[in-house]
Structure 1
Amino acid sequence: MKRRILFYTTLWLSSFSGIQEGVAQLTFASIHRRKEGTPTQETNTSLIVLLKKLELTYKTSFVYQKELLENKTFSGAVNENDKLEQVLDRVLTPAKLRFQKLKGGGYTILPRKIGKNSSAETEPLKASGTQPLEPEADKELAINSLTARVDMQAFSTAKPADIVVKGRVTDNDKGDPIPGASIVLKGANKGTNTDANGQYSISVPNANAVLVFSFVGFEKQEVTVGNRTQVNITLKNDLKELNEVVVVGFGTQKKINATGAISTIGTKELIQSPVANISNSLVGRLPGLFATQSGGEPGNDGSKIRIRGVGTFSGSTDPLTLVDGIQVDNYNNIDPNEIESVTILKDASSTAVYGIRGANGVLIITTKRGKVGPPKVSYTFNQGFNSFTDLRQMMNSGDYATHFNDALKADTYVNGTTYTPRYTDQDIELYRNGQDPIFHPNVNWFDVMFKKVSKQSQHNVNISGGQNKVRYFVSAGYFSQEGLFKDTKDVVDAFSPQSLFQRYNLRSNFNFDVTSRLRMTLDLSSQTEVRSGNNGSSTERVVGDIARASPLSTPGVVDGKVVNILTGSQNNPYASLLYPNLAGGLKRSYRNYLNGNFRMDYDLGFLTNGLSVHGNVAMQTYNDQQIVNTKTLITYLAVKLPDGSVNYVPSTTEAQFGFSQSGNYNRRITAEAGVDYKQSFGVHNVTGLLLYNQQKTFDPALAFLVPKGYQSFVGRATYDYNGRYLAEVNVGYNGTENFAPGKRFGLFPAYSLGWVASQEPFFPKSGFVTFLKVRGSYGEVGNDNIGGTRFLYRETSYSSVPNMYYFGNVGSTYSGFTGIREGATGNPNVTWERAVKQNIGLELWFLKDKIKFTGDVFSEKRSDILATPQTISSITGLSQPASNLGRMENKGYEGDITYIDKVGGLGYRISANFSFARNKVTFRDEVPNQFAYQNRTGQRLGQNFGLIAEGLFNSWEEVNNTSRPVYAYSNNKIQPGDIKYVDYNGDGIVNNFDAVPIGFSNLPEKTFGASIGLNYKGFDLSVLFQGVGNVSHYYTRFQRGTGYGQAPPEGSPSYMNESWTQERYDAGLPIRFPRFSVNANPNGEGSSYWLADASYVRIKNAEIGYRLSEGLLKRLHIGACRIYVNANNLFTWKSMYPGIDPENTSTGDTNTEPYPLVRTINTGVNLSF
């Protein structure tokens, strides 16, 4: 009895000292000593202690529930030379236990299945054929265990046995298993994935271990293991990720499974920009989107959109635009509050289904729809104020008169004449002191014709909601924007050509779940635009006249009269704005767009799961009514009387108001029918689409009154293996009657692959990169909008030509007779442009999905571009028909990155995107130039050409240097102040053969955007930067040569005071421009002197807002309220001269100038109930 007390006391002390493992080792050592020496005798050993010893001896691990082994012992000898599984079988079988080997190494101890009547009680067990230990053995074991405490201290830190945790991962919608879900042991680089049935197994070190469950499209979950060995998890849909579907041709896809190059922007970003149209809202926000705003006139201020640059030099470069799957010609008239998202499709994989309309990319607008829930009413109001971003400061009359005399004086050398000034010193003094404003006016026409600020406003109210059977979204909006011309009603009563734009929007989108299988949608929308402005002359012509008007040409308006004077120029911008011979009166136009789209979807799941059919019919109508009122503008001539008074003599007579009315209309019908299939077979997921689409446009203005139609047959098949390996095939077979029979249809296939490497078992589960996808595509698309007339395969209409034939005697009497001549020969082989596109993309998520990056590299080779042959001699006597001769290539790369995080109560989002696209004309059938560097083939489209300038001649010594080349301009009469050109070809003559490619193209190769968003305790701030690079423009307005009539150019800006004069040069003052000249001269030649870097960076949009607190909202019975202030085109960094915006430098016509861009400061409120 004493020996037993000593034994248990020793075990208790050992446990208290933390050396139970040491005791187990000594126990097993004692057994083996007996085996080696005397015959082994039987003893009782705790199974827990024994298994820990076996872990160390066999260098393995055991996983078990502690309760399963408590109070169980083993009585018998263990031979260390036996295999481990033999030992386990011998040790566990008597205790009604069993073992199972784990895939990752180690063993788990499980209860053995027992019979119905078997006893579950646990008794001390004996191995058959063994004898009880002698009492002395107990004593020896206890003493050896206690004395070996220090020697076995190392065993107290041995790694404890892992616990094997198993379970199943399912989704919370249908309870379906989630194959490929990730299970990671938090804080360790250890993890696994679920199998095809959603099952998993993982070993963890202890009950405190935390498992992290995740799968793309679902919310992460962290679970502490505790005492469980079975952990089943239901993952909730991460609505933000799962619902981030991208719109593709004729359908949608989850973004994580898409293999095409696709970019999307949501409604939140769109409504931040206080602009009238969507195209301006997109600028700087999407990679691959190139946009240029050519003017700021109300109703005509939209941006020119190009996707991945330009791939043709003849056809249209506009992308195909769709609204809810239906093609539209004008998408800028949609209220931004109606839009859910805007998506651009960029590569062949995403656009091939559109075939002959997909080469320039596709822009898809998706409008909002109702969701199940109570009615939600939202109201948005904002009031804005517009002003020009940058207007030129003009030269005053005194400086203008002085420089005009300088020009006359400088030209005496070229003309061989004697200098006679036009303006006397007295004239110049009167221009400067303003004492004679009628006959010596000093007018800044930008100040006279434009006001500082105009107003714009916007209202929108929408309601959405619904039940399971019916859901709705209804919206009504109004937008109004005034122009910046000053009111002229004081000149002509009730007659003002002020630019004014108003738009009224209505939309209703309904979803009906008629039965469990039948669903229907009905979408109706209307946009009505009212535009007012001058008629006969374009706004660009009016602005051009304002810019060209010299400050001393006329006093403008005096006492309500439009006054001209006898001296100086007669260019009065008021006459341009109002005079009927130029302006043609006031025009008011009413445009109405009415759209309807009805769609039905039917689930054929009773035939096979995942099968459905759909059909829809859409109709669009457009009506335009124009009303023009005219009235003769009375102008007056100022005549100074002998007594010094002024008499205003009418130059024109007054007439009654004139009235005219005109209009046009068209309509388009689209019909579509398709079969959709979507199914999963374990880890294999497939989708399919077969579709027929037909479109017909009826327009009286179409050639021969023949409706314009398209037919399309579309096929798509996608496959993904466990969300890991992705494959997609898209095919479009499309046709149009614009081409000759047999040439109307074409096949456009595209193929794409994707690999989600982060779903691979070997991918680090807790590494720096959390998501990695590589994708690539190759395919063909087309462009049927190739330029030229519509039916190029037909000869143009015949025309009668008088005196085409002569009959009679030569030299005496003969008569001419009318003949018939063919306008141009048709070409039956004309077809669409064909583009072969390749794309490789990479998608990366970092730092627990805080950073997301997407990058693409792309290339396009376009052939069959329409061009007129230039290498066929004109001796044939025929006008050569256009042919598909041209070729171009376009290559580039793009990327965007977003970082979202939160520090304390401050949330922030930083994003940036960048795009680069460089094109090259590879063939255009041009006549080879004498010098190859002047060929357009091999150059960028829009490449600027010109002479290379090396500064100015500053002295007669430089001019008379015998080594300088001869100038083919102005009979080589060069003088100080003229531009010095490079003789590029070295023939000793500067002429047009020395013109070379200079600068960049007039189309930007680079575009970028960067934004930052902050939110803190109800406040939010966002700023968007946008810019372009690698683009050059000529200073056409300042390039002095032929076409201006006098120099300095009429309406010269004030910085042209820094033009070259001998006095200015001698004084060391800054010189920006060459000398002034009245005559055409070499300084007006196109050269690098006049070519400007049109790159810029602009604060495109900035907004600050505040959301009212919930407590205050409850007292006001308002669901949400946000007030905000935002601005558009806030500030621009550029290298071009002041007063010139890099986006709208020129219209290409010296008589016109773009309406300047505007800056908008806007304040508003969003309410929801």
Structure 2
Amino acid sequence: MKIQYKNIYIFITLLSLLINNALQAQEVNNEALINQDTIGISIEENHMDIGYDKQRREKVTSSISTVKGKDLEQNFNLNLGNTLYGRLAGATVTQGGSEPGISAPGISIRGLNTFGNAGSGPLYVIDGFVTSGSGTSNAFMQLVPEEIESISILKDASATAVYGARAANGVVLVTTKTGKEGPMKVSFTTRQGFNQAQSLPKFLGAYDYSLLYNEALANDGLAQKYTASDLEAYKNGSDPLFHPNVNWYDEVLQPIAPVASYDIKFTGGDKFIKYFVMANAINSNGLIKEFGDLDEESSNSKYEKYNFRSNLDLNITKNLLAEFKIGGAIERIRNPGTYNVGGTFTLLQQLPPNAFPVFNPNGSYGGTNIYANPVGNLLSTGFAETNTRTILASLKITQKLDVITKGLSVSGAIANNNYFESGTIKTKTYPRFSITKGANDAVIYSPATGQLSPLTNTDETLDQYRNITIQAFLNYNRTFGKSDISAMTMFNTDNITLNGTTANATDPYKHNSFSGRLTYMYDNRFIAEFSGSYMGTETFAPGKRYGFFPAGSVGYIISNESFLKDNNTLNFLKLRASYGLVGNDVIQTLGSGTRYGYFQTYGGPGYTFGTGNSGFGGFQENTIANPNITWEKEKTLNIGLDFTIFKNLHISYDYFNRDRYDILVSANSIIPAFTGIPSPNLNQGKTKSEGFDMSLRYNFNSKKQFRFFAEINGGYFENKIVFNAEAPNLNTQSLRTNSVIGQPFGLNAIGFYSADDILLRQTDPASVPGVVTEVIKAGDIKYQDIGGPNGMPDGIIDVNDVMAIGNPSMPNFTMGLHTGFKYKGFDADFVLQGVTGNTVYLGGNTFHAFQGNGQVGPIALNRWTPETAATADYPRLSSRDNLNNYQYSNFWQRDGSFIKLRSAEIGFTFPTNVAKSIKMDSVRFFLTGTNIFSIDKIEYGDPESLAGYPVMRTINMGINLQL
């Protein structure tokens, strides 16, 4: 904290000096201000990344969305994926938590179009090379915006076909920054701020807990636990030792935690060499309290990340070019004790406020044989540290062959992507004691639960992989009169070696591919393109390892017709259409226990014989092998429209239709379970998806230095499972066929049982159905009975009564608004994201009162009682784990729609003469906020994170210096 305060002091001193100089300035260099681009309004580049190549924008007939790295810098996050909310049309980014260094969001392109255990995430490509890993270990998530030129998502088959069997879920392309010819420019940016929880679960205090627990006991026909004197002590807080009222979140979490970042960049070059060099550091303390300051054998929660990058472009000769890129990240994560997201936050959500005090009078930890002490867990069980290293290095050599024919070139490239994660765990145990009041208020200690042990050390390798890629290219670009031809052919081979906990981790994952793209443009009006890949992988059986993935697209630039060229309203109009085939080979984990589904495996516990069922060792066939197993395939149609009107309004719209087949599923509809044969995995599954995505951008520049822009993007999709080979069921409403991918299935709640229902159930149980494992009482949740033959009631509520309820957890409509303005030296930038079409589930101790001896939240205040039967929206309270009320049902589902202000930044760029007075080219001060507010329908938490580590709000101020 002292370091943070020192940084802030230096920052404020420098800022005061700058403001003083600004007030004394007599004039402002208006021309310089107009040319500066501090809010993301810039002239679009003439070329865009289309995968393994760049192409002039007017020639592109594919569906691609792009965001610039400089725009992402305005959203301060510890993980790159969390900067993409609301930024890319067609991308759905879902919160994966906010724990520093651990959490990574989910990214889907045009929704989901597969199911089961098949991979549904996109392919990540950095500077032309596929990256490995998942979650935070993926090299993409390790990058920082400061090193990124652009991020693009490839959405249709014409854009992704060159990636063949790896591209059906879309492709995320990252282009890192390179140097530009000119004198060296230096840029330094620092941010100083803090994190805080956007929302935390809410629970009732000890008095309300005890009062409601007595009611729950009475509802169960049990004696009350808390007397009137107990309730009074909880209410007035007069006896914190034997009647504690502990807010465990306050004991474990701090309200704010410091965060800081530092970034320095060098760029420049001449006609022989151009360079971009960057170093970036991020520090975050997280929300866990500073337990390391209280015990030298514990540790403060700390996250550190250091990124570096050096990109060089060399002109070795006039026709021989070289590109060398190296970048990486070093991470260090420390946490106290037995902390982990699942264990720590589950305990915080479960532990009642009156369970025990944090510390007993003799200084020992409070606790019971049921509950551990969260403070003791973090203060007296040691600490853990993980260290990760990510390195991405590539070298590409290009030889121009104009001597053979103009526009011809050949290239060769090699890249290496390495990731290594190691851990050090220091562990010990501690005793905890429960206390009771004896005679004369004496404190009586129970026998210890647990014991004191010394600190022990364990070092381990947690994860590692390496990916080596070799590529060869032949490129051709030439214009003949009105004909413009560009062509690319390439060979790619990559070898990914894992050494983690994955099954068959030591076997390399290998891909070979021959890819190509041919684009023809006539008279700047008509465009035709063919692309494709012939790709193979060792995952499948010999003779089944290679496949061809073609795609074609056409475009028509109508605005270049003579009758529209002088139109001042319609400045640009292009129609696009594409159709093609791509694949998804991430299917190896489904059911077979091995990634080689064509290879028969054996195992099992053995066999039993005789009347005594004596066991004997042996082997049996696991899931039956399928020698014809292959990748998923998807045929995709895309129709697009791009146009510009009034020079400042740019609109792009795409409609897509995706048909995926050969999805790997268990053959439950073919081989019944009673045969005893492990059902083989067959490529029989089918899905269908369609929807649209669009983007709209408006720019306004006035002669009075006022500039404004607004960009709206959105995406919508509908999907369904066409066939999944599921077994027949008498309850047809429980079948997944024709349902939405990810559709939740559960019971349909139809209100509460009334007292009359209970009386009727006692005389005629079949007329008032209920679960057979629970004694139903008035105030319990009542469910629809559909589980009999032909969907008729059978008087029992069980698994046969499930039906489609609510919506999937992934929203099917996402919209983003990016807007900002600049006036003279002032600028502002805002990003809002909205989603709908999803459902969240209220589960666990936050919402299920007293379950697992847990807490009770304010949601239970409007519970059912005989007096509130007409208005209650929560079932009767029960002290037991009620097997009826907490069935998975739509009673606990809520609309997950929200609108969030994902980021906001306001800044001020000092006049040029003020900057020059301190030997700077440019000085800018800014204030940034991330995850600032949410408008949603969830009263008791954030719809993206109802449990575990809370969503973080970040506020920071910063300064950028350029010289």
TM-score normalised by the chain length of structure 1: 0.74
TM-aligned CA deviation for residue 593 of structure 1: 1.4
Residue identity matched to 2:168: A
Supply the distance in 2 between the matched residues of 1:669 and 1:535 (Cα, whole angstroms). 38
TM-aligned CA deviation for residue 1014 of structure 1: 1.0
- Note if 1:1031 corresponds to 2:829: no
TM-aligned CA deviation for residue 977 of structure 1: 2.2
- Three-state SS of the structure 1 residue aligned to 2:618 is strand
State the partner residue of 1:349. 158
TM-aligned CA deviation for residue 1018 of structure 1: 0.7
Q: Relative to structure 2, which stretch is displaced further, 649-658 or 749-758? A: 649-658
TM-aligned CA deviation for residue 1042 of structure 1: 11
State the partner residue of 2:891. 1089
- Note if 1:912 corresponds to 2:712: yes
- Note if 1:1109 corresponds to 2:911: yes
- Three-state SS of the structure 1 residue aligned to 2:440 is coil
Residue identity matched to 2:824: K
Supply the distance in 1 between the matched residues of 2:444 and 2:776 (Cα, whole angstroms). 47
Cα distance change of structure 1 residues 1063 and 612 upon mapping to structure 2, 3 Å threshold: same
Gaps (5+ residues) in structure 2? 1-40, 133-137
Cα distance change of structure 1 residues 492 and 1062 upon mapping to structure 2, 3 Å threshold: farther
Cα distance change of structure 1 residues 636 and 986 upon mapping to structure 2, 3 Å threshold: same
Cα distance change of structure 1 residues 828 and 905 upon mapping to structure 2, 3 Å threshold: same
Supply the distance in 2 between the matched residues of 1:561 and 1:941 (Cα, whole angstroms). 54
TM-aligned CA deviation for residue 880 of structure 1: 2.2
Deviations 1:584-638 (A, max 9, x none): x422111111221111111111111111111111112222221111122232333
- Three-state SS of the structure 1 residue aligned to 2:390 is strand
State the partner residue of 2:272. 469
TM-aligned CA deviation for residue 1040 of structure 1: 7.7
TM-aligned CA deviation for residue 647 of structure 1: 5.5
Supply the distance in 2 between the matched residues of 1:826 and 1:355 (Cα, whole angstroms). 25
Residue identity matched to 1:640: K
Residue identity matched to 2:211: T
- Three-state SS of the structure 1 residue aligned to 2:469 is strand
State the partner residue of 1:854. 652
Deviations 1:794-828 (A, max 9, x none): 445544856x476xxx789x997543334333221
State the partner residue of 1:696. 495
Alignment of 1:777-926 (within 5 A): 777-788=578-589, 789-795=593-599, 797-799=601-603, 801=605, 804=607, 818-847=617-646, 849-871=647-669, 872-903=671-702, 904-926=704-726
- Note if 1:635 corresponds to 2:425: no
- Note if 1:402 corresponds to 2:211: yes
Supply the distance in 2 between the matched residues of 1:384 and 1:248 (Cα, whole angstroms). 38
- Note if 1:774 corresponds to 2:575: yes
Supply the distance in 2 between the matched residues of 1:1018 and 1:777 (Cα, whole angstroms). 45
- Note if 1:1129 corresponds to 2:931: yes
Supply the distance in 1 between the matched residues of 2:321 and 2:773 (Cα, whole angstroms). 81
State the partner residue of 1:1002. 809
Alignment of 1:51-62 (within 5 A): none
- Note if 1:422 corresponds to 2:225: yes
- Note if 1:590 corresponds to 2:397: no
CA contact (8 A) 1:795 1:823 kept: no
Question: Which one of 235, 250, 259 corresponds to residue 52 of structure 2?
Answer: 250
State the partner residue of 2:748. 948
TM-aligned CA deviation for residue 408 of structure 1: 1.8
Supply the distance in 2 between the matched residues of 1:336 and 1:240 (Cα, whole angstroms). 17
TM-aligned CA deviation for residue 464 of structure 1: 0.6
TM-aligned CA deviation for residue 978 of structure 1: 2.5
Residue identity matched to 1:324: D
State the partner residue of 1:185. none
Residue identity matched to 2:642: E
Deviations 1:276-316 (A, max 9, x none): 12111111011000011121111123211111101110311
Which structure would you say has the larger Rg? 1
State the partner residue of 1:360. 169
State the partner residue of 2:21. none
- Three-state SS of the structure 2 residue aligned to 1:999 is coil
Question: Which one of 656, 670, 678 corresponds to residue 469 of structure 2?
Answer: 670
Cα distance change of structure 1 residues 557 and 371 upon mapping to structure 2, 3 Å threshold: same
Alignment of 1:924-939 (within 5 A): 924-939=724-739
Supply the distance in 2 between the matched residues of 1:385 and 1:304 (Cα, whole angstroms). 25
State the partner residue of 2:32. none
TM-aligned CA deviation for residue 670 of structure 1: 0.6
Q: Relative to structure 2, which stretch is displaced further, 765-774 or 737-746? A: 765-774
Deviations 1:661-684 (A, max 9, x none): 112533221110110000001111
Q: Give the paired residue count.
A: 899
TM-aligned CA deviation for residue 445 of structure 1: 1.4
Supply the distance in 1 between the matched residues of 2:194 and 2:342 (Cα, whole angstroms). 22
Residue identity matched to 1:996: M
- Three-state SS of the structure 2 residue aligned to 1:726 is strand
TM-aligned CA deviation for residue 653 of structure 1: 3.4
Residue identity matched to 2:872: I
Alignment of 1:446-457 (within 5 A): 446-457=249-260
Cα distance change of structure 1 residues 1085 and 1142 upon mapping to structure 2, 3 Å threshold: same
State the partner residue of 1:657. 455
Residue identity matched to 1:1091: Q
- Note if 1:326 corresponds to 2:129: yes
- Note if 1:981 corresponds to 2:760: no
State the partner residue of 1:551. 353
Supply the distance in 1 between the matched residues of 2:522 and 2:960 (Cα, whole angstroms). 45
Supply the distance in 2 between the matched residues of 1:1000 and 1:242 (Cα, whole angstroms). 39
Cα distance change of structure 1 residues 1039 and 381 upon mapping to structure 2, 3 Å threshold: closer
- Note if 1:1053 corresponds to 2:857: yes
Deviations 1:406-464 (A, max 9, x none): 1122223xxxxxx4212111211112111111221111111221110011111111101
State the partner residue of 1:727. 528
Question: Which one of 813, 825, 828 corresponds to residue 1021 of structure 1?
Answer: 828
CA contact (8 A) 2:414 2:471 kept: yes
Question: Which one of 495, 518, 524 corresponds to residue 320 of structure 2?
Answer: 518
Residue identity matched to 1:311: N
- Three-state SS of the structure 1 residue aligned to 2:81 is helix
- Three-state SS of the structure 1 residue aligned to 2:890 is coil
Cα distance change of structure 1 residues 565 and 1039 upon mapping to structure 2, 3 Å threshold: closer
Alignment of 1:42-121 (within 5 A): none
Q: Give the % identical residues.
A: 32
TM-aligned CA deviation for residue 782 of structure 1: 0.6
- Three-state SS of the structure 2 residue aligned to 1:1057 is helix
Cα distance change of structure 1 residues 609 and 652 upon mapping to structure 2, 3 Å threshold: same
- Three-state SS of the structure 2 residue aligned to 1:678 is strand
TM-score normalised by the chain length of structure 2: 0.89
TM-aligned CA deviation for residue 699 of structure 1: 3.0
CA contact (8 A) 1:545 1:576 kept: no
Alignment of 1:256-655 (within 5 A): 256-314=58-116, 315-329=118-132, 330=138, 331-412=140-221, 419-489=222-292, 492-496=295-299, 498-533=300-335, 538-558=340-360, 561=363, 563-564=365-366, 570-577=371-378, 585-646=382-443, 650-655=448-453
TM-aligned CA deviation for residue 747 of structure 1: 0.3
Residue identity matched to 2:317: T
Residue identity matched to 1:859: N
Residue identity matched to 1:761: S
- Three-state SS of the structure 2 residue aligned to 1:1001 is coil
- Three-state SS of the structure 1 residue aligned to 2:779 is coil
CA contact (8 A) 2:203 2:846 kept: no
- Three-state SS of the structure 2 residue aligned to 1:943 is coil
Supply the distance in 2 between the matched residues of 1:1037 and 1:959 (Cα, whole angstroms). 31
Residue identity matched to 1:391: L
CA contact (8 A) 2:100 2:303 kept: yes
Supply the distance in 1 between the matched residues of 2:783 and 2:616 (Cα, whole angstroms). 54
Gaps (5+ residues) in structure 1? 1-238, 413-418, 1146-1152
Question: Which one of 919, 928, 951 corresponds to residue 1157 of structure 1?
Answer: 951
Whose RCO is larger (CA < 8 A, sep 6+)? 2
State the partner residue of 2:9. none
CA contact (8 A) 1:597 1:617 kept: yes
Deviations 1:128-176 (A, max 9, x none): xxxxxxxxxxxxxxxxxxxxxxxxxxxxxxxxxxxxxxxxxxxxxxxxx
Supply the distance in 2 between the matched residues of 1:876 and 1:959 (Cα, whole angstroms). 45
Cα distance change of structure 1 residues 242 and 604 upon mapping to structure 2, 3 Å threshold: farther
Deviations 1:729-769 (A, max 9, x none): 00101111011101111100000001111011122622432
Supply the distance in 2 between the matched residues of 1:547 and 1:1130 (Cα, whole angstroms). 25
Cα distance change of structure 1 residues 1133 and 902 upon mapping to structure 2, 3 Å threshold: same
CA RMSD of aligned residues (A): 2.6
Supply the distance in 1 between the matched residues of 2:151 and 2:198 (Cα, whole angstroms). 28
